[in-house]
């Protein structure tokens, strides 16, 4: 047997699974469960309300009619691995924030931004600011500071540029985008 046929079969099986998931998510029954939004360049997202927040569950590639699970319904990231995080950039952050990153826990707001040049920025909040814990009467607020890290993904949700804590250095975020675009467009 030709070794290349093994790779082709594996790829087509994965593509078939992504196409079946896309067809399922496009069916009327699933359109009620998931809120879909446009991310430009033929991309979209199917979000599910979990713990009162819209979460990016599935990434949709309308051009090839494939869908990829980005997050489980338990709020675990599926296309991100611990190797997709720049751990040096997280030094000095609260231990609980670093622990959430190790667990790939996306309990707090996580957003996939619009696609530009085949990549999308993802913001992943590891810790909310203290107002998150406040009740409707204003009690319970903590001194927590918001901790958010950023990375870039491709059309299948795979990380192209590792997640980093940029400490509001927006020029670094722009450089990360340029890096992601150069990797994808090689």
For residue 49, the cross-strand partners are: 54
Question: Would you state the pLDDT for residue 41?
Answer: 98
Question: Would you state the pLDDT for residue 80?
Answer: 97
Tokens found for residue 133: 């814990």
Question: Would you state the pLDDT for residue 186?
Answer: 81
Q: Per-10-residue mean pLDDT for the chain, 186 residues long? A: 44 86 94 94 96 92 98 96 98 94 94 97 82 57 74 98 96 98 92
d(CA 118, CA 78): 20
Alpha helices in the chain (DSSP H): 3-26, 28-33, 95-103, 170-184
d(CA 3, CA 176): 36
pTM: 0.86
Where in the sequence is the domain holding 121, given as residue range(s)?
3-184
Question: Would you state the pLDDT for residue 53?
Answer: 83
Question: Would you state the pLDDT for residue 73?
Answer: 94
In total, how many domains does the chain have?
1
Question: Would you state the pLDDT for residue 140?
Answer: 55
Q: How far apart are the first and last CA of the chain?
A: 31
């Amino acid at each position: 047997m030709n070794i290349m046929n093994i790779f082709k079969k594996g790829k087509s099986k994965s593509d078939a699974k992504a196409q079946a998931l896309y067809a399922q998510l496009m069916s009327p029954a699933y359109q009620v469960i998931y809120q879909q939004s446009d991310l430009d360049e033929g991309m979209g997202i199917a979000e599910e309300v979990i713990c009162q927040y819209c979460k990016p569950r599935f990434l949709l590639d309308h051009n090839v009619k494939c869908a990829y699970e980005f997050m489980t319904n338990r709020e675990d990231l599926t296309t991100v691995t611990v190797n997709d995080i720049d751990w040096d950039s997280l030094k000095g952050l609260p231990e609980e924030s670093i622990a959430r990153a190790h667990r790939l826990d996306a309990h707090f707001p996580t957003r996939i931004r619009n696609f530009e040049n085949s990549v999308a920025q993802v913001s992943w909040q590891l810790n909310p600011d203290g107002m998150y814990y406040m009740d409707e009467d204003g009690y319970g607020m903590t001194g927590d500071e918001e901790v958010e890290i950023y990375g870039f993904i491709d059309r299948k949700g795979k990380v192209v540029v590792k997640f980093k804590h940029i400490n509001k250095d927006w020029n670094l975020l722009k450089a990360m985008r340029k890096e992601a675009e150069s990797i994808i467009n090689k």
